[in-house]
Chain A
Amino acid sequence: MKIAREETMAPPGIQPVLQAEHVSKIFRDFWRRPRVRAVNDVSFDVKPGEVFGLLGPNGSGKSTTLKMIVGLLRPTSGRLQVLGAPPTDVRRKARIGYLPEDSYLYPYLTCEETLDFFGRLFDLRASERRARTEQLLEMIGLRHARRRLVGEFSRGMARRIGLAQALINDPDLVILDEPTAGLDPLGCRQVKDLILTLARRGKAVLLSSHLLADVEDVCDRIAILFNGQVQATGPIRDLLEERHRPRLTLPEVSADQLRAILAALKEQLGREPELDYPRRNLEQFFLDIVARAMRQATEQSGATPSEGVAPYLSVDDRRHPLASPPPPAGHE
C-alpha cells in the first residue's frame, strides 16, 4: 500500500522541535589541534509534522550533524535546541527516536529481547512493551524471526530492527540516518510510508540520505550539505519546480484531439511543444510484481513484507510536541 504524499508542513508560527543555529564541528587530534572541520556554520530548523531531509554526498557532514543533534557529539560552536533543551538533556531523550547509520544492535539478543530492552530504557510498562513489540515486529515483517538472535541477521533485517527500536517510544522527533540503506525496494517503500504516517500524526522527522529519490518522495524541506556547509535549503517543491516550464497533463484524448491541441499550442508558442507519455516509475512497477507474487507464495524465508504501520504509531492523536509537557520520568 502506498501512502499518498500530502502537504505535512507545519503552519507558520509553530515552535520548531529542532533548531540548529550556526552549528560547527571541528574534530581535533590528541594535541587538540584542528584536524577536520566536518560541519561548518549549519543552520536549519524542523517543525512538528514536517519531514526534513539532509542531503549530501559521503563525508558532507550529514551524520555528524545528526550525531550532534542526539548528543553523541558536541558542537564546537553554535547552538542546538532539541525539544526546547540542549541535546544532552536526558529527559528530552524520552521523546526522541534515533536510527544511526549502522544499526549497532546487540548480537546476543533476539529480536524480541532487543525491542524489550530498548522499551525498558524508556520505562515502558511490561504490558506496553509486549504490545508494542508485537506491533513493531508485525510492521517490520519479522514476527516469524522474533526468537532469532540479531547477530544472525542480514544487514537489511538488522536495519528493520534498528528502525523498530527507534519507534518503540512513539517519539515526537524521529531522527533517521540513511533509513533505507540495506533495505529492499519493498522495505524502502514501507519506511517511506511510515515516515509520511508519522508526519501526518504531527511528528517531526529528520532524515539524512544520499538517495535522492527517497528524499524527494517524503521530504517537505531539505538542506543540501557539501563540505560541511549548507549549499541550498528550502521547501523541496520550491527548489525543484521550474515555474518557467509548465507541463500540462491531459485526460484521455483521441489522436485527432491531440493533434488539434498540439497545433493550437504551436500556434500560441510559435514552436513545436514537447510531447511524452507518463510512465509508472520502476519502484511502483516492482512493488506491483512483488505483490502479485506474494499472493501466490505461502511461505518465504527472510523478512515477510507486511501491510501498513504499527497501530500504536497510526493512532491519530495529532498534536504538536512542544505543546505537550515532557513525559514523566516513569511511564509506568
Chain B
Amino acid sequence: MTAGILSPARRRRPDMNKIIAIAILAVRGAIRSRVVLVLLGLLLLAVVAVPLTVKSDGTPAGDVQILVRYTLGLAMLILSLSVLWAGCASVSLEWQSQRLQLVVTKPIHPLQLWLGKWLGLVALHVVLLAICGAVTAGLLKWRMREPLRDPVDREWLLDEILVARRSLIPEPVNVDTAARLRFEEEQSRGRLPADIPPETVVQAIRQNLLIQAFSISPGGTREWHFPRPGRLDRERSLLLRFRFSSSTPGPDRVTGAWVIRRGNNIPAVQVQTNMVATARHSIRIPCAALSGEGPLVVAYENIHTDPVTVLFSPEDGLEVLAYAGSFGPNYARALLVLSGQLIFLAALGITAGSLFSMPVAAFVSGFVLLLVQMAGQLQSMAAQPVFLAGHRGEAALSPLGAQAYRLFFKLLHAVMGPLQVSGSLEKLTTGVLVSWSETFRVLLTHGLIYPLLLALLAAWIMRRREVAMAG
C-alpha cells in the first residue's frame, strides 16, 4: 500500500510476482505432499532397474538401446503421466475442494493463475527429467569403460551409435503421373472392377509403383540418388544404413553387389554383401574416397544365385548418415525435445482441468494425446475416400456430408499434426542427429505456441465459469 522504496528497474514486474507465487505454491505442494519423492523413487528405479532386468540381444547397439531408449522412455512415460495427471488435478481438484475460491477473489487474472500453475509443474518435471538424463548419462559412461566393454565394440559404438549423424534419404520417386496413366490405360481396356471407387484404384496403383521402385528382381539393378551430403570431413566415413526383405521366407542370407559413387565419378565403394534379410546393416563409405561433385549415387545389383526378389522399404529402407557432431550435444538436444513434450502435456492437463472435473479432464487430455499420435492416420482419413464409400461403391455420405467429413479431418490434422514428434530417443540410439532446428521447432510448438493457445482458451473459460457452488 505504501510507495515502493526500490527503484523501478530493480523491482520485479507485479504480474510476474503473482505468477511466481502460484508457481512456488505448486512446487511446495508437490514436494510436501511427497509426490516428488515418490516420483523420484519411481524414476530412479526405472533408470537403474530396466538395464538390469531387460535382456539385451547381446550386441553393443542392443545394450545402448536398453540403457538409453528403454530407461529414458520409461522415465518419460512416468513423467508424462505425472505431469498430465498433476496438470488436470492442479485446477480441477482445487475447484472441487473450493480452495480456488480464495485465490480467485484476489487481484489475479485467470491467465496469471494458469501460467503460475504451468510454470510450477514444468519446472518440477523438467528438473526430474534432467536428473534422469544425468543418471542415464552417468550409467552409459560407466558401461563404456574399458574393463566392461571390448575396445573394438567401444570403437564401433563411438562411430556408429554414440555419435550424431545427419540422415540423408533417397530423393523421392514421383509415381503420381505414372499411376494416373496406368489407371487410364486399365480403364480404357475395361479391366477395372466396377464396385471400387476410381481414387482407391489410383491409390493402389501408386503404392504398387512405389514398391516396384524399391524392389530388385533376380539379376536386376536399381539406383538411388541421395542429396548432396554437403561439406564432408575427409577423416570420417559416411554410413550407408539399410534394411531389406526378401521374397524367400526365413532368415536366409541374400547376396548383392553395392556400388557407391558421387555423380558419374569412379566408385568410392564396390562391395559384395551376403546379409540376412530384415536386420539392419551398414556399409562404411570413406569420405576420402568420394571424389568429385554431384549427388551421392547408390546402386544395388541382385546377384543372388537363387531367384529371390529384394525389397527395400520406401519409407526407411535406405539412408546415408553423415557425421554431424558428437553424442553429448545430441543427447542434450534429445532431452530438450522431451522437455518440450512435457511442457505441452502440462499445458494440456491444466487446460483440461480448467474445463472439466478431475476424471473427465484426465480422459479428455488422454483422448487429445491419442489424436496427436494418430495425426498421420487423420491425414489419410481426410484424403482417403474409401471411408466415404459403402461396400458396393455407393456413396455413403451426401456430397455435403463428404465435404464436411474431409474438412473435419483436415482441421483435426492441421491442429494435431504439428504436435507429432519423430522419436528423438530412437534417433539417439541409432546415432542419428537430433538437429537444432528440430529441437527449436518442438520447443516453439510444444513449449510456446500451443501452451499459449491453451492458456488463452483456459483463461477465457475461467473468466466465464462460476468458481463457487450453491451454498
Which A residues contact B (CB, under 8 angstroms)? 27, 36, 38, 63-64, 67, 70-74, 88, 90-94, 96, 98, 100-106, 108-109, 113, 117-118, 120-125, 128, 149, 165, 169-170, 327, 329-332
B21 at interface, CB cutoff 8 A:
yes
Q: Which of B15, B28, B103 contacts A109 (CB 8 A)?
A: B28
Chain B residues 422-471 with CB under 8 Å of chain A are 463, 466-468, 470-471
B2 at interface, CB cutoff 8 A:
yes
Across the interface, name the chain A residue whose C-beta is closest to B471: A63
If A123-B14, A330-B4, A332-B11 are given as contacts, then 13 extra A-B residue pairs at C-beta distance below 8 Å, sorted by A number, are A63-B471, A90-B109, A93-B108, A98-B102, A102-B98, A104-B98, A106-B29, A109-B28, A121-B21, A124-B1, A125-B2, A330-B13, A332-B17
**Per DSSP, are chain B's interface residues mostly helix, strand or loop, or mixed?**
loop
Q: Are A90 and B98 also in contact (CB < 8 A) when A121-B21, A329-B14, A332-B4 are?
A: no
Q: Which A residues touch B2, using CB under 8 A?
A: 125, 128, 331
Closest 9 CB pairs of A and B: A330-B14, A72-B468, A120-B21, A108-B32, A121-B106, A332-B4, A94-B107, A93-B107, A123-B14
Chain B residues 3-35 with CB under 8 Å of chain A are 4-6, 11-15, 17-18, 20-21, 24-25, 28-29, 32-33
- In the assembly, what is the distance between CA of A91 and CA of B107, in Å? 6
Which B residues contact A (CB, under 8 angstroms)? 1-2, 4-6, 11-15, 17-18, 20-21, 24-25, 28-29, 32-33, 97-99, 101-109, 463, 466-468, 470-471
- In the assembly, what is the distance between CA of A73 and CA of B464, in Å? 10
> Contact at B102–A165, with CB atoms within 8 Å?
yes
Whole-angstrom distance between the Cβ of B204 and the nearest chain A Cβ: 48
Q: Are A109 and B25 also in contact (CB < 8 A) when A94-B107, A120-B18, A331-B1 are?
A: yes
- In the assembly, what is the distance between CA of A88 and CA of B465, in Å? 11
Whole-angstrom distance between the Cβ of B33 and the nearest chain A Cβ: 6
18 of the cross-chain contacts (CB-CB < 8 Å) are A36-B470, A70-B105, A72-B104, A98-B102, A102-B98, A104-B98, A104-B99, A108-B29, A108-B33, A109-B25, A109-B28, A117-B24, A120-B21, A121-B103, A122-B106, A330-B11, A332-B6, A332-B17
Q: Which of A64, A104, A169 contacts B470 (CB 8 A)?
A: A64
**Per DSSP, are chain A's interface residues mostly helix, strand or loop, or mixed?**
loop
Q: Which of A74, A91, A100 contacts B102 (CB 8 A)?
A: A100
Q: Which A residues touch B11, using CB under 8 A?
A: 330, 332
- In the assembly, what is the distance between CA of A128 and CA of B32, in Å? 27
- In the assembly, what is the distance between CA of A101 and CA of B102, in Å? 11
Across the interface, name the chain A residue whose C-beta is closest to B29: A108
Q: Are A108 and B28 also in contact (CB < 8 A) when A121-B103, A122-B106, A329-B14 are?
A: yes
> Contact at B466–A74, with CB atoms within 8 Å?
yes
Q: Which A residues touch B466, using CB under 8 A?
A: 72-74
- In the assembly, what is the distance between CA of A88 and CA of B11, in Å? 28
- In the assembly, what is the distance between CA of A36 and CA of B469, in Å? 12
Q: Which of A71, A120, A331 contacts B104 (CB 8 A)?
A: A71
Q: Which A residues touch B103, using CB under 8 A?
A: 121
Q: Which B residues touch A117, using CB under 8 A?
A: 21, 24-25
Whole-angstrom distance between the Cβ of A186 and the nearest chain B Cβ: 25
Q: Which B residues touch A109, using CB under 8 A?
A: 25, 28
- In the assembly, what is the distance between CA of A332 and CA of B17, in Å? 10
- In the assembly, what is the distance between CA of A102 and CA of B11, in Å? 35
Q: Which B residues touch A93, using CB under 8 A?
A: 105-108
Q: Which of A72, A170, A330 contacts B467 (CB 8 A)?
A: A72
Q: Which A residues touch B1, using CB under 8 A?
A: 124, 128, 169-170, 327, 331
- In the assembly, what is the distance between CA of A135 and CA of B33, in Å? 29
Q: Which A residues touch B5, using CB under 8 A?
A: 125
Q: Which B residues touch A72, using CB under 8 A?
A: 101, 104-105, 466-468
Q: Are A331 and B18 also in contact (CB < 8 A) when A63-B471, A64-B471, A96-B105 are?
A: no
Q: Which of B13, B18, B97 contacts A121 (CB 8 A)?
A: B18
- In the assembly, what is the distance between CA of A125 and CA of B98, in Å? 28
> Contact at B14–A104, with CB atoms within 8 Å?
no
Q: Which B residues touch A123, using CB under 8 A?
A: 14, 17-18, 107
Q: Which of A63, A64, A102, A118 contacts B106 (CB 8 A)?
A: A118
- In the assembly, what is the distance between CA of A100 and CA of B13, in Å? 29
Q: Which B residues touch A94, using CB under 8 A?
A: 107
> Contact at A125–B4, with CB atoms within 8 Å?
yes
- In the assembly, what is the distance between CA of A329 and CA of B25, in Å? 22
- In the assembly, what is the distance between CA of A105 and CA of B102, in Å? 8
Whole-angstrom distance between the Cβ of A23 and the nearest chain B Cβ: 15
Q: Which of A73, A88, A91, A96 contacts B463 (CB 8 A)?
A: A88
Across the interface, name the chain B residue whose C-beta is closest to A149: B32
Q: Which B residues touch A91, using CB under 8 A?
A: 107
Q: Which B residues touch A149, using CB under 8 A?
A: 32
Whole-angstrom distance between the Cβ of B332 and the nearest chain A Cβ: 33
> Contact at B105–A71, with CB atoms within 8 Å?
yes
Across the interface, name the chain A residue whose C-beta is closest to B100: A104
Q: Which B residues touch A38, using CB under 8 A?
A: 470
Q: Which B residues touch A98, using CB under 8 A?
A: 102, 105
> Contact at B98–A100, with CB atoms within 8 Å?
yes
> Contact at A104–B101, with CB atoms within 8 Å?
yes
Across the interface, name the chain B residue whose C-beta is closest to A93: B107
The residue among B33, B101, B463 with the most chain A CB atoms within 10 A of its own CB is B101
Q: Which A residues touch B467, using CB under 8 A?
A: 72-73
Q: Are A90 and B107 also in contact (CB < 8 A) when A72-B468, A113-B28, A117-B21 are?
A: yes
Whole-angstrom distance between the Cβ of A281 and the nearest chain B Cβ: 32
- In the assembly, what is the distance between CA of A170 and CA of B4, in Å? 16
Across the interface, name the chain B residue whose C-beta is closest to A330: B14
Across the interface, name the chain A residue whose C-beta is closest to B113: A121
Across the interface, name the chain B residue whose C-beta is closest to A74: B466
Whole-angstrom distance between the Cβ of B113 and the nearest chain A Cβ: 10
Q: Which B residues touch A70, using CB under 8 A?
A: 105
Q: Which B residues touch A64, using CB under 8 A?
A: 470-471
Whole-angstrom distance between the Cβ of B396 and the nearest chain A Cβ: 33
Q: Which A residues touch B105, using CB under 8 A?
A: 70-72, 93, 96, 98
> Contact at A121–B104, with CB atoms within 8 Å?
no
- In the assembly, what is the distance between CA of A101 and CA of B105, in Å? 14
- In the assembly, what is the distance between CA of A92 and CA of B25, in Å? 24
Q: Which A residues touch B470, using CB under 8 A?
A: 27, 36, 38, 64
Q: Are A332 and B14 also in contact (CB < 8 A) when A70-B105, A90-B108 are?
A: yes
Q: Which A residues touch B15, using CB under 8 A?
A: 329
- In the assembly, what is the distance between CA of A91 and CA of B15, in Å? 12
Q: Which B residues touch A121, using CB under 8 A?
A: 18, 21, 103, 106-108
Whole-angstrom distance between the Cβ of A33 and the nearest chain B Cβ: 15
Q: Which A residues touch B471, using CB under 8 A?
A: 63-64, 101
